[in-house]
Amino acid sequence: MAELCIIEKWAENLDEATISQWLVAEGDEVLAGDGICEIITDKAAFEYELETDGTVKRIYAPPRSTVPVGYVIAFIGGPDDEPPDDIEERNERVMEEHLRAAEDDLELDLEISIPRGGRRERRHSSDGERRVRGTPAARRLAAELEVSLEEVAAALDVSGVVSEDDVRAFAGRK
């Protein structure tokens, strides 16, 4: 029996997940209940467990990639099963919809997080340094890349909350 491994909406506020690493490779035999990859969300890290036995026929998401809910990350099938032809097109459509929604959210977030004077501008740590705030995803990515949010904010002249996109832009400059 074939299985499409899809990022499901496991929590109400889940919009995307990061494939930390694959525990299997294409061509590997797997059993129901096996974990095939490590998934990281803003709230949890866990293994994606299979519902059926089979062979890993195709992996659609590379390690360290962030994919939206609805994205097919792998296809598990029997000896005669082949992945459906439309999976890559489906994934592109899901990703485009997710990016459009993220752009809409970003516009809203930017409007909300623009410093307007007051206490947010004056936040400092106990040693007098300006304390930089970042989203959970930005903090996680900065830690993975071994950079500080202070470095990102200074390099990109970010005056509000540092986003994951800011960290990616900073990493691209290095």
For the chain, give every domain's residue range: 3-89, 116-173
CA distances from 112 to 101, 158, 167 (A): 17, 14, 20
**Helix (H) / strand (E) containing 144:** helix 136-145
Tens of pLDDT, residue by residue over 62-87, are: 999 999 999 999 999 999 999 999 99
CATH number corresponding to 3-89: 2.40.50.100
Longest CA–CA separation in the chain, Å: 65
Answer for the pair 113, 142: CB distance below 8 angstroms, yes or no. no
Global pTM reads: 0.59
Q: At what angle do helices 136-145 and 149-156 cross, to 10 degrees?
A: 100
- Cα separation, 96 vs 78, in Å, equals 31
Give the pLDDT band of residue 57 (cuts 50, 70, 90): very high
Tens of pLDDT, residue by residue over 96-115, are: 998 888 776 655 444 444 44
